[in-house]
């Protein structure tokens, strides 16, 4: 039988809690989901493995895209989203995103979110691949923080939401073919606990921390994706990882992101000799799609032998830099770079996962009673390459919708949950491994950057998969330790990325194969779906691969 769980234990010995809706994750998607269900009168338990404020949303600078201007329309927003997605966007879900998006942003404003404005009119910016100014910002470059603080206040003040910080999702619990809750771990106590719920929603965020260079916080390990996969849910589009082209090139981990909005306002990318090179790669120059800009920078770095290029702010006035990009200015100054006086070093970094747990428009996964939303989910909205500033909007729109859908399911009878099996099984006789967790985590990150990064190849991906499998076998059953659980999740997610990237023998959007550099619509206008092979040996799980064709209309 396929490997299903990270640990074996007797559930009857553990603390047990129940609720109507269990939500895992406290970014924009998780908070929106929890509020949506709570406002419908449901008892919500909201988990986060770190603190309420440690997630990608709180660090998001660029803004939130929505057709809020009289000169813009949802149809134009959809058109830009399709163009960026390189033929793989889900048309229905994109239309839902752009239609509901303006309403959800206005609801945020009604809740107290303050976006930058002049004389009562929103100041809307433009970013790469957008045909209109539709990016709403807050505090210049602290949009995510403003949105997160607004939603957090509402959650903390809601009587129906029970927030539990410092609680790690270990495994999803299943019974009679459906999800019935989760096994959790509290590192500060060293204890496991069971939370049972008729509806469970994963909003666990991204997976950038599997890469040596990333803009994501270290909590972004893909744990929700790994847990859903182990439980039997479909995952999709895992090969599509977006690399942000402009992260501050310092030795910090994670790397600090310099928002695309800076280029939207006129900043220029130059190589180390001072040459502006982007128009050599794309007619839109600095405003080309992110995958194009990231590969152009990567190529230029290889040509020059440098580990960075330069971002030149000189077309922006000192006042513009100080007023519109105060967080970026502060961070650059703390690293001894002053963008008001000199170009700053930048390099690409892993930033966003287009793929994840396969869901429908209401957040339902292929595993009954399990939902997902936000970056850990794959709605098909982003296709092969996410349009800038659509991520916060997706979390807001589909987080709210998933909460309402999960709340509806939670009306079901809870009596079946008393029949959850006492034993979690699946690892069989696999013994506890002796891997150095810290060293292996860093080695995995380095491997993913070199083999599954901006440019990939078949032989490199095959070698990476072999190495990941070797680490998985050596890992054995993890100790009851947060770092060990996290490494297991990272290995699972890394292998899913590498296997999907090896399968897709073409280049499309954020996925670029040096040994298959052309886009091949005839053979690869499809989605790659993976699920656990339930017949595989527990010691070395395997995946079942499925190709789902995509309508030409979505491109």
* The residue to which tokens 């691969």 are assigned: 545
pLDDT digits (tens, 9 = 90+) for 41-50: 999 999 999 9
Indicate whether 90 and 102 sit together in one domain.
yes
Indicate whether 174 and 232 sit together in one domain.
yes
Indicate whether 202 and 132 sit together in one domain.
yes
* The residue to which tokens 């771990």 are assigned: 185
pLDDT at 4: 64
Indicate whether 407 and 319 sit together in one domain.
no
Is the peptide bond prior to 84 cis by the omega test (within 30 degrees of 0)? no
Residues 6+ away with beta carbon under 8 Å from 439:
none
Phi, psi of 431 (to 5 degrees): -95, 160
Q: At 70, is the secondary structure helix, strand, or coil? A: coil
In a domain, 497, yes or no: no
- Closest C-alpha to 172, from 229, 220, 238: 229
In a domain, 221, yes or no: yes
Q: Give the Cβ contact number of residue 164 at 10 Å.
A: 14
Indicate whether 184 and 271 sit together in one domain.
no
Indicate whether 109 and 44 sit together in one domain.
yes
Stated as kind and residue range, the H or E segment containing 486 is: helix 482-503
Q: List, for the chain, all residue ranges whose pLDDT scores fall below the cut of 50.
A: 1-3, 423, 425-431, 552-555
Q: Assign residue 397 a region: left if phi > 0, alpha if psi is -120 to 50, beta otherwise?
A: alpha
Tokens of 72: 């813009």
| Residues paired with 548 in a beta bridge | 527
| Residues paired with 513 in a beta bridge | 456, 516
In a domain, 495, yes or no: no
Residues with catalytic roles: 290
Radius of gyration of the chain, Cα coordinates, nearest whole angstrom: 22
Q: At 54, is the secondary structure helix, strand, or coil? A: coil
DSSP result, 3-37: ---S---BGGGSEEEE-SEEEE--SHHHHHHHHHH
Indicate whether 227 and 150 sit together in one domain.
yes
Q: At 392, is the secondary structure helix, strand, or coil? A: helix
Q: Give the Cβ contact number of residue 328 at 10 Å.
A: 25
pTM, 2 dp: 0.95
Tokens of 410: 């939670």
- 33, 402 in Cβ contact below 8 A? yes
**How many Cα neighbours within 13 Å face the side chain of 182?**
27
Residue 297: domain span: 244-348
In a domain, 27, yes or no: yes
Q: Give the Cβ contact number of residue 53 at 10 Å.
A: 15
In a domain, 555, yes or no: no
- 37, 404 in Cβ contact below 8 A? yes
Task: Tell which of 348, 363, 388 closes a domain.
Answer: 348
pLDDT at 415: 53
Indicate whether 221 and 202 sit together in one domain.
yes
- Closest C-alpha to 201, from 417, 404, 41, 397: 404
Indicate whether 160 and 174 sit together in one domain.
yes
* The residue to which tokens 């053979």 are assigned: 523
State the burial class of residue 386 (Cβ atoms within 10 Å of its Cβ: 0-12, 13-18, 19+).
buried
- Closest C-alpha to 207, from 254, 172, 146: 254
pLDDT digits (tens, 9 = 90+) for 221-257: 999 999 999 999 999 999 999 999 999 999 999 999 9
CA–CA distance, 283 with 330 (Å, rounded to integer): 32
pLDDT at 430: 41
Buried b (16+ CB within 10 A) or exposed e, 507-528: bbbbbbbeebeebeeeebbebb
Indicate whether 106 and 236 sit together in one domain.
yes
Q: Give the Cβ contact number of residue 412 at 10 Å.
A: 12
CA–CA distance, 516 with 501 (Å, rounded to integer): 11
State the burial class of residue 283 (Cβ atoms within 10 Å of its Cβ: 0-12, 13-18, 19+).
exposed
pLDDT at 465: 97
CA–CA distance, 356 with 375 (Å, rounded to integer): 7
pLDDT at 13: 84
Domain count, the chain: 2
Indicate whether 164 and 296 sit together in one domain.
no
Indicate whether 268 and 319 sit together in one domain.
yes
In a domain, 552, yes or no: no
Tokens of 132: 């209109």
In a domain, 517, yes or no: no
Handedness of CA 251, 252, 257, 262 (dihedral sign): negative
pLDDT at 413: 54
In a domain, 519, yes or no: no
- Closest C-alpha to 399, from 147, 136, 129: 147
Task: Tell which of 348, 366, 391 closes a domain.
Answer: 348
CA–CA distance, 198 with 192 (Å, rounded to integer): 20
Task: Tell which of 301, 322, 348 closes a domain.
Answer: 348
CATH for 286: 3.90.700.10
Q: Give the Cβ contact number of residue 272 at 10 Å.
A: 16
CATH for 88: 3.50.50.60
Tokens of 32: 């929106």
């Amino acid at each position: 039988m396929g490997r299903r769980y990270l640990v074996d234990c007797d559930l009857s010995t553990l603390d047990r809690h129940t609720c109507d809706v269990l939500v895992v994750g406290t970014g924009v998607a998780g908070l929106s989901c929890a509020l949506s269900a709570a406002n419908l009168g449901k008892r919500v338990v909201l988990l986060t493995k770190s603190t309420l404020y440690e997630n990608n949303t709180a660090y998001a600078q660029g803004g939130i895209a929505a057709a809020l201007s009289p000169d813009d329309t949802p149809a134009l927003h959809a058109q830009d989203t399709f163009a960026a997605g390189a033929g793989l966007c889900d048309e229905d879900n994109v239309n839902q995103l752009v239609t509901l998006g303006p309403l959800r942003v206005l609801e945020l404003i009604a809740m107290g979110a303050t976006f930058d404005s002049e004389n009562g009119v929103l100041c809307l910016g433009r970013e790469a691949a957008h045909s209109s100014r539709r990016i709403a910002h807050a505090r210049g470059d602290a949009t995510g923080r403003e949105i997160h603080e607004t939603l957090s206040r509402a959650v903390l003040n809601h009587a129906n939401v029970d927030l539990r910080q410092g609680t790690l999702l270990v495994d999803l619990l299943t019974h009679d073919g459906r999800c019935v809750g989760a096994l959790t771990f509290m590192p500060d106590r060293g204890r496991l606990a069971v939370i049972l719920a008729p509806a469970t929603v994963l909003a666990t965020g991204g997976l950038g921390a599997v890469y040596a260079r990333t803009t994501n916080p270290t909590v972004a390990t893909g744990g929700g994706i790994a847990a859903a996969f182990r439980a039997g849910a479909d995952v999709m589009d895992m090969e599509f990882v977006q690399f942000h082209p402009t992260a501050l090139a310092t030795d910090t981990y994670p790397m600090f992101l310099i928002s695309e909005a800076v280029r939207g306002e006129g900043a220029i990318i130059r190589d180390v000799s001072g040459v502006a090179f982007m128009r050599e790669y794309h007619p839109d120059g600095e405003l080309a799609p992110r995958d194009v800009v990231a590969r152009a920078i990567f190529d230029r770095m290889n040509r020059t032998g440098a580990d960075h290029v330069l971002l030149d702010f000189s077309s922006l006035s000192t006042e513009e830099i100080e007023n519109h990009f105060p967080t970026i200015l502060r961070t650059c100054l703390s690293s001894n770079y002053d963008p008001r006086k000199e170009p700053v070093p930048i390099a690409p970094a892993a930033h966003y996962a287009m793929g994840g747990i396969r869901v429908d428009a209401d957040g339902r996964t292929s595993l009954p009673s399990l939902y997902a939303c936000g970056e850990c989910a794959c709605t098909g909205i982003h296709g092969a390459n996410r349009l800038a500033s659509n991520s916060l909007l997706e979390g807001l729109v589909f987080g709210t919708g998933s909460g309402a859908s999960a709340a509806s399911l939670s009306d079901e009878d809870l009596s079946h949950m008393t029949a959850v099996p006492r034993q979690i099984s699946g690892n069989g006789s696999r013994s506890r491994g002796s891997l150095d967790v810290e060293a292996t985590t860093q080695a995995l990150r380095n491997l993913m950057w070199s083999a599954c990064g901006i440019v990939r190849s078949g032989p490199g991906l095959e070698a990476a998969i072999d190495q990941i499998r070797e680490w998985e076998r050596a890992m054995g059953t993890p100790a009851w330790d947060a770092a060990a659980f996290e490494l297991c999740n990272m290995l699972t997610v890394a292998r899913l990325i590498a296997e999907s990237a090896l399968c897709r023998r073409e280049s499309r959007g954020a996925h670029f194969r040096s040994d298959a550099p052309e886009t091949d619509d005839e053979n690869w206008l499809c989605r790659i779906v993976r699920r656990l092979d339930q017949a595989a040996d527990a010691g070395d799980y395997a995946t079942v691969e499925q190709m789902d064709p995509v309508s030409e209309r979505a491109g």
